[in-house]
Amino acid sequence: MTLTEATCIYCSKAKPFTDEHVFPAGMGGDDHSYILRKLVCGDCNTNVFSPLEAQLMRNSPYALARLHQQPTSRVRGNKPGPPEFAHDRCEMVDKDGHVSEAQLVVGGKPMTLSQIQILDGQVKLVGNDDARITAFLAELPTLLGNTARVIVKIPTAEGAEFDVTEYAWDGHDYQEKGKTLSPKPPLGIWLDSLAGSKGQAIGWPRIYKRHHGQIVLRVMEPADAASFLSGTKRTLPTLAASPFPVARYVENPVIRVGMKADPQKIFRAMAKIGVNFACHEYGDQTVRSSAFDSIRGVIMNGGEGVPLADMTHVQAMFSVDKRLVHVVVLFPQPIEGGHSLAVLIRLYGGGIQMFLIAESVSLPSETTPVVFTVHYLENKIERLSFSSYVHYLTVQMRLAGTDAGDPKAPNA
């Protein structure tokens, strides 16, 4: 692979460049001093990196920590907004055992979603926000018209296709009309399973509106969809004319959360952070070298396995840093003919992960490890020597167990 200054440091192609945050902006990256300019193309930024960062920020164990510790993130247009957690399912169970669809929001608090639950002729309208309930009920007549479409997403090697079942209204019930496969989803209702991991029903069958718009139906079997949608359509006029449920505080609810995290994508996002910092620290000519071809290929296209090492043996030392920071360490080690280059990353005060980004790269002989602390509430990154950071940790360890601990940052 030949990389020149006119090409993207990742795909090696000469395409229009866009600014690339060294550390993701949505996780607190620096908007000023830590930007790669005229080094990363817009295609890589939009088509490769954005989905990887979304996986890391919204659908990973780090996403839960982000909800609890980072009250603001970035939304479309680079504007501040609340962080999001894209769980696969989230149910809230009250003291009476009643299950409701929920969404975890800032602070890790559960928010009840607007929903209709039906079981054995009993109908419940559930929700904690009149405006959201109104929007939910107003949307259903369009989806439950003379024709209703129920959609199932089917993953494929190329991405996904969509199994669409059409139902026709006969005046009292929906009757299945036919099935089609579509490359794009039509306007319709998304089907999901009511069953838990052991095959048991989790609460009543229900239809609900996700926090960002999709209408979802949860039933035990696809064959149950027609009956549930028929009952929903028949009860809509009554529900719309009835008083909305009174918002209530659920004390100590049980929250069941499921996510479909992709470890490979999470690693690729973290590896990209490591390469970005290497580019910022050592220059683009260093990361353009063939020493980075292997990790570059994994970031761009994926690979087998997730070459992360869990650094539990140094976790105790790093855990004394109680500040609200991410920590990234570039750790070069001299070898014959150059340096190996590893990256250590600690996000939201969690475990330390280490991975290799270059087996043999040419660096000055005096190159030493360097630490970057990402102050995610301030969108600021600080650089310091590894020795000064270790000194700071050592002092904090000595002060642990007393009231004299000083969380101030070490001097660079």
In this structure, the answer to whether residues 111 and 241 fall within a common structural domain is yes
Q: Among candidates 306, 301, 295, which has minimal Cα distance to 272?
A: 295
| Listed residues 258, 276, 310: the one ending a domain | 258
Query: What is the tens place of the pLDDT at every residue in 79-111?
Result: 778 888 888 889 999 888 899 999 998 988 899
Please check whether residue 40 lies inside any domain of the structure. yes
In this structure, the answer to whether residues 239 and 364 fall within a common structural domain is no
What's the CA gap between 99 and 254, in Å, rounded? 9
In this structure, the answer to whether residues 112 and 240 fall within a common structural domain is yes
- The model's pTM is 0.86
In this structure, the answer to whether residues 56 and 97 fall within a common structural domain is no
The domain tally of the chain equals: 2
Please check whether residue 4 lies inside any domain of the structure. no
In this structure, the answer to whether residues 243 and 296 fall within a common structural domain is no
| Listed residues 198, 228, 258: the one ending a domain | 258
pLDDT at 1: 44
Beta bridge partners of 79: 75
* Structural domain harbouring 108: 89-258
Please check whether residue 56 lies inside any domain of the structure. yes
Query: What is the tens place of the pLDDT at every residue in 205-215?
Result: 999 999 888 99
Please check whether residue 404 lies inside any domain of the structure. no
Query: What is the tens place of the pLDDT at every residue in 348-403?
Result: 999 899 999 999 999 999 999 999 999 999 999 999 999 999 999 999 988 876 54
Please check whether residue 154 lies inside any domain of the structure. yes
Please check whether residue 117 lies inside any domain of the structure. yes
In this structure, the answer to whether residues 254 and 353 fall within a common structural domain is no
In this structure, the answer to whether residues 279 and 242 fall within a common structural domain is no
Determine how β-strand 189-193 pairs with β-strand 147-156: parallel
In this structure, the answer to whether residues 135 and 246 fall within a common structural domain is yes
In this structure, the answer to whether residues 164 and 221 fall within a common structural domain is yes
| Listed residues 204, 223, 258: the one ending a domain | 258
